[in-house]
Structure 1
Amino acid sequence: MAKIAFILLCHKDPEAIIRQAEGLTATGDYVAIHFDASAPAAAFAAIEQGTRENPNVVLVKRRMKCGWGEWSLVRATLAAIEAAVQAFPRATHFYMISGDCRPIKSADHAHSFLDARDTDYIESFDFFTSDWIKTGMKEDRLIYRHFVNERTSKALFYGLLGVQRKLGLERSIPHDIDVMIGSQWWCLRRATIDKVLAFTRARRDVMRFFATTWIPDETFFQTLVRHLVPRAEIDARTLTFLMFTDYGMPATFYDDHHDLLLSQDFLFARKISPEAFELKERLDDLWASGRTDFPVAGDGRRLFTFLTHRGRTGRRFAPRFWEREATLGRDRELIVLVCKKYHVAKRLAQALRDHDVLPTLNYLFDEEDTPMPDLGGIESTLTKRHRHRRALLRMLYRQIGKDRLAICLDPVNFDLLQDFYGDRAEIRTLLIDCHFDEDYLEGHAARNGLIGDKTPRTTIDRLLPTVAQDFVSESLAIRESDLPGVYRIAETATPETNAAVLKAVFDIDAETARILAGTPYLFDD
């Protein structure tokens, strides 16, 4: 059965570290602690005192002063690994964590998970060809030498880098090493740890190389494991659930994230807020609970993206020169049916076609499978349709041989609607307001990948009001804009009221408007 030795790097809050170590070792696992030498001596003494009676905890005595992005973090990790290897001969796996990590599965589940496969879990992607690094330096992390900390000595850091560039002091990577990159939150088998430690003693050239690279904790172990272990025995993933904001900072979890975290396909999560006392307590209790039933939804990152991006406005693409020059035509008319419930707008669109009111296209900017004539490829993908929206519509006018056209549009595409109003054509908008019950909201969330069959009910209940508010906000943005020619029909209005609006929007006779307003099952789900 798996026995985990946790490699815990930390630098603050000794009482929390003691509680964390007690919780992790309560199930027979082990913890090796490296406490940053920059922290007060009294804090380390408190950890010594608090863990003295626990045989499953070992402290690194020769501590390092650690800095973000520095080699010191790797040195501290190696010191903790060596302490764990010596102190815990029964440990089968070594799992890297920090003081901000907490389990989101039980120890029984984690042990069974690790027993199921003879595998190392570590992200290891090609440094040069992968897109793991999103911003900042890439090759310069390796080919130049970095002696100071970028965060604490920014001017000196970039000054030294500039001098090396100017003098052409690039260096070569050790010839037999393919540098990999990935998350520093890994879980390795004991045999792999033994190979890594042996390698560090035998290959001082590689150690010297990494010692002056920048952010080596994202490359050192990732490179060595891929160099020493057959690819078939590596699962290039982390078992720790973490997310990053748009600004490259780790997302922080709070008390109300409990159910969300438990439904992710990971063993641990970070960063847990220092103020999330209830969450920490519940997760610590979970580790020793013996629970093994964990329905996995795996929707955390999609939900995070949805919730953090909601409410943001702006164009999807900067205007290209051919779009600035493009126009639908001064004498042309475009009527936009804006509705969140696609089937409602499609029923009205079909009625418009059936009664020869005007040519109407369904959600051509929202659904790629919307029937479209061959326009030479500009219609082939949603990306192209959005990018060349005016040119696309101009070609459609020519193709159908009419100067009047209606299209359906999701209100989320307010930027497209604004762009159409910037044209010389006559634009009118028909807002179709619908009622959204809980079943529809839940179905919408499922269709967009925000929830799944195994998403906890509590997560769904908290998400649905946000989805509903999004719908309201999208319609309000249009209604409260200064765009001219915006009309509205509603599910709650009488057919007579809606007919009067349709008569004005489409410039049709009262009888045709009455027929359109009475379209069978128009608002039904």
Structure 2
Amino acid sequence: MARIAFILLTHKDPDGVIQQACRLSAAGDYVAIHYDRRAPEAEYRAIRSALADDPNVTFAPRRIRCGWGEWSLVAASLETLRTAERVFQQATHFYLLSGDCMPIKSAQFTRQYLDGDDCDYIESVDFFHGDWIKTGIKAERLIYRHWFNERTHKTLFYASMAWQRRLGLTRRLPDDLQIMIGSQWWCLRRQTVESMLALIDSRPELVRFFRSTWIPDETFFQTLVSHVVPKTQIRSRSPTFLMFTDYGMPVVFYNDHYDLLLRQDYLFARKISAEARDLRARLGNLWQATGQEFPISAEGPRLFRFLTGRGRIGRRFAPRFWESDGSLGRSRIVHLVVAKKWHVAKRLTDRVRTLTAIPAVDYLFNEFNAGLPDMGGVASSVEKRQRHRRALVRLLFDRFETRNLVLCLDPSALSLIGDFASDRAETRILHVDCDFDDDYLRGHMKRTGLASDRTPQDVLDRLVPVVRADLEHEGERLRDMEFARFETISAASTPERNAAAIARFLDVPEEIAQDLARTPHLFDD
């Protein structure tokens, strides 16, 4: 059975460190602690004194002053890892944690999880070809030497890099290493740790190289593990659950996040607020639990983006594609069927194609199969259609040899709808006002990833009114934009009123509009 040596990097809250170490070691695992040298000496002595009699706890022999983005974080991890590997000979796995991490599974579950797959858990993405780095410098992290901290000496950091660039002082990467990048929180098998430490000892130039890279805790272990272990034995994911806000800051978890955390497909979570005493106590007790089931729904990241994104309707930061590429043409008419229930809009466009000569395509900016004719490379993927959407719409007009074109859009695409309405071409909008019962909303949450088949019923019940209000708000925002040519149809309206709205929307005879309004099962789910 797996026995874990936890590599615990800490810098504050000595009482919390003591409790964490006692909790982990009491379950039969090991703990090796590094306490940042920047912290007061008295705190460190208090921790050592409190844990002096625990044979399953040890300390890094050297305390290092750590700074974000610096080699010092890797040095502290290495110092503690070497100590744990030497002292705890029975350890089968080495798990890197911070003082802000807490278990979200029991020790029993964690050991069974690690025993179930003979592998290493460390996120490792190709540095140059992956999309891991979203903002800031990229190759410059490696090809230049960094002696200053960007956070504490910003001017010196960028001046040093500028001088190296000007003087052509780039350096070569290690020839036989594929540089990888990923989260610094990992869990490695003993044989992997032994191979990696042996590699470091035999090749000191590797440490010299990474010592002057920027943010090496995201590349050092990730690269070396990928070098000494076959890729088939690496699970490129951190075993620790963490999320980031839009501002790049870690999401902090509080007392009301207990159920959410337990449902995530991870073993530990970071960051747990120091003030969330109830959450810390419950998670601490959880580590000792036996026989507990953990239904996994893993909706955390998508649910967080949804809830934090509600109400964030702000300015755009790029020119509209119509503004940058001209107009579709004054003589053309764009008919937009705007419906949240895509199957309802598709039933209507199918009848439009059958009963009229007006070309109609479905959700071309959302789905690959949208009833498009052959458009060549511009329509080869949804992503490409989004990128070249103005060219795509112009090509559709030309391809169909028409001045009228029906498109389907989701009401969440307000900026796109507004862009059509501001074009010189005439834009008409038919809003399909849909009812959302509880069953539909539950299905919608699962289709969009807000929930899964394993999401507890009480969580679904709490989300249903939130999601309903969000979808209804989309319709309200659409109406509030007060478009010049705006019509609405709904299941609650009479066929005659719906037909009149469709007739104005499409400029079709009354009898055809009546047939369209009476499309069989038009509003059915």
Tell me if structure 1 keeps the 8 A contact 2:321–2:390: no
* 1:54-99 residue CA offsets vs partner (Å, 9 max, x unmatched): 3322233531111111122122112222332343222221110001
SS at match of 1:411: coil
Q: Report matched runs for 1:224-303 at 5 Å.
A: 224-291=224-291, 293-303=293-303
Report deviation, 1:292. Answer: 5.1
482-491 vs 309-318, which deviates more? 309-318
* 1:450-487 residue CA offsets vs partner (Å, 9 max, x unmatched): 32222333443343334323312221221111421222
Mind listing any 5+ residue stretches in structure 1 that lack a counterpart?
none
Q: Report matched runs for 1:381-460 at 5 Å.
A: 381-460=381-460
Q: Report matched runs for 1:116-127 at 5 Å.
A: 116-127=116-127
User: Partners in 1 of 2:204 and 2:510 — Cα distance?
Assistant: 88
CA pair 170-372 structure 1, distance change in 2 beyond 3 A: closer
CA pair 131-379 structure 1, distance change in 2 beyond 3 A: closer
265-274 vs 167-176, which deviates more? 167-176
Mind listing any 5+ residue stretches in structure 2 that lack a counterpart?
none
Tell me if structure 2 keeps the 8 A contact 1:259–1:458: no
User: Partners in 2 of 1:129 and 1:517 — Cα distance?
Assistant: 51
* 1:264-283 residue CA offsets vs partner (Å, 9 max, x unmatched): 22211212233333322222
Q: Does 1:2 align with 2:8?
A: no
User: Partners in 2 of 1:326 and 1:486 — Cα distance?
Assistant: 21
Task: Give 1:483's aligned residue.
Answer: 483
Instruction: Give the letter aligned to residue 295 of structure 1.
Output: P
CA pair 126-363 structure 1, distance change in 2 beyond 3 A: closer
SS at match of 2:413: helix
User: Partners in 1 of 2:491 and 2:189 — Cα distance?
Assistant: 61
* 1:189-215 residue CA offsets vs partner (Å, 9 max, x unmatched): 223333333444443333333222222
292-301 vs 29-38, which deviates more? 292-301
RMSD over aligned Cα, in angstroms? Answer: 2.9
Task: Give 1:139's aligned residue.
Answer: 139
Task: Give 2:473's aligned residue.
Answer: 473
Task: Give 2:326's aligned residue.
Answer: 325
User: Number of aligned pairs?
Assistant: 524
Task: Give 1:112's aligned residue.
Answer: 112
Scaled by the length of structure 2, the TM-score of the pair is 0.89
Scaled by the length of structure 1, the TM-score of the pair is 0.89
Task: Give 2:304's aligned residue.
Answer: 304
Task: Give 2:12's aligned residue.
Answer: 12
User: Partners in 1 of 2:392 and 2:160 — Cα distance?
Assistant: 52
SS at match of 1:431: strand
Instruction: Give the letter aligned to residue 18 of structure 2.
Output: I
Q: Does 1:95 align with 2:87?
A: no
Q: Report matched runs for 1:189-204 at 5 Å.
A: 189-204=189-204
* 1:172-230 residue CA offsets vs partner (Å, 9 max, x unmatched): 44445443332221112223333333444443333333222222222222233233344
SS at match of 2:253: coil
User: Partners in 1 of 2:364 and 2:208 — Cα distance?
Assistant: 58
User: Partners in 1 of 2:259 and 2:463 — Cα distance?
Assistant: 12
Task: Give 1:208's aligned residue.
Answer: 208
User: Partners in 1 of 2:173 and 2:379 — Cα distance?
Assistant: 47
SS at match of 1:412: coil
Instruction: Give the letter aligned to residue 82 of structure 2.
Output: E
12-21 vs 170-179, which deviates more? 170-179
Q: Does 1:217 align with 2:217?
A: yes
383-392 vs 414-423, which deviates more? 383-392
Task: Give 2:345's aligned residue.
Answer: 345
CA pair 253-462 structure 1, distance change in 2 beyond 3 A: farther
424-433 vs 349-358, which deviates more? 349-358
25-34 vs 349-358, which deviates more? 349-358
Report deviation, 1:284. Answer: 1.7
